[in-house]
Amino acid sequence: MEYCMSRLIVNQIQGDAASKQIQIPTGHRLTGGTGSIVPAGSVVQCQNIRVTARSSQSITQNSANASATNITGMTLNVTPVFANSKMIIQARWCGEFGAVSSGGWNNMFLIQRDNTPVSQPPRLGGLTAGDMPSSLGYYAQDDSSTMENCMWDTVDFPNTTSQVTYTAAIYNGFTGYTLYNNRNVNGAENSSYETGSSTIVVWEIAQ
């Protein structure tokens, strides 16, 4: 059997009266130019990861480095559907700094794509650049029993339809310390201490 290319020109197409659906057979798909299938501004996909593991990691002074330190577990792989899509990345972290004087007062949280910072402000002089500083959970220095938190978002244009990896990360502008994720420094399991979760959500928006 021979097949030939053809063009169907109509001003409306709809499903039957019962199902009100139009079915595309498995393995087939509709394609078109930019914006012809998905209107600009529409959500193309939403991916997320929720991290509940309690962990700790070493954070060195790294504010002048090309890459920041990735936060354990806060990594999400996404394959864009369209090369020109806008990616909105939202992140939420909770935990505690092993030394508030170096960690809580001298850090900036950010998002990295394939270990490269996304949408960063200019790094002026020796300033530590990032998206958002943390909020401290207690008005005085505390590095044992009261968790800190940070919620932030950013926008990225990866310009690819290949898989990319988004990771929540941290730039530290002072001395090294230990970062505790989803837990207090003091790991006691009673109601005087807390445990939490961290997340990354990525929205692909058609352009």
Q: Which two tokens stand for residue 147?
A: 């968790």
Name the residue type at position 86. Answer: K
Question: Are 169 and 129 within 8 A, CB to CB?
Answer: no
pLDDT > 90? residue 77: yes
Q: For residue 69, is it within any domain?
A: yes
Q: Which domain holds residue 194?
A: 43-205
Q: For residue 194, is it within any domain?
A: yes
Question: Are 136 and 143 within 8 A, CB to CB?
Answer: no
Supply the pLDDT for residue 166.
Answer: 98
Rounded to two decimals, the pTM is 0.84
Q: For residue 33, is it within any domain?
A: no
pLDDT > 70? residue 13: yes
Exposure string over 133-144, b if 16+ CB within 10 A, otherwise e: bbebbeeeebbe
Question: Are 81 and 205 within 8 A, CB to CB?
Answer: no
pLDDT > 70? residue 170: yes
131 closest CA partner among 112, 151, 109, 150:
109
CATH code for the domain in which residue 179 is found:
2.60.120.1340
Q: For residue 49, is it within any domain?
A: yes
Question: Are 198 and 94 within 8 A, CB to CB?
Answer: yes
Q: For residue 125, is it within any domain?
A: yes
For residue range 88-109, list pLDDT tens digits in order: 999 999 999 999 988 889 999 9
Q: For residue 55, is it within any domain?
A: yes
How large a percentage of the chain has pLDDT more than 70?
95
Supply the DSSP string of 85-115, one letter for each residue.
-EEEEEEEEEEEES-TTTTTTSEEEEEEETT
Q: For residue 127, is it within any domain?
A: yes
103 closest CA partner among 72, 67, 131, 128:
128
pLDDT > 80? residue 36: no
Q: For residue 12, is it within any domain?
A: no
Question: Are 45 and 204 within 8 A, CB to CB?
Answer: yes
Domain tally for the chain?
A: 1
147 closest CA partner among 162, 133, 136:
136
* Cα–Cα distance for residue pair 120/130, rounded to 1 Å: 6
pLDDT > 70? residue 26: yes
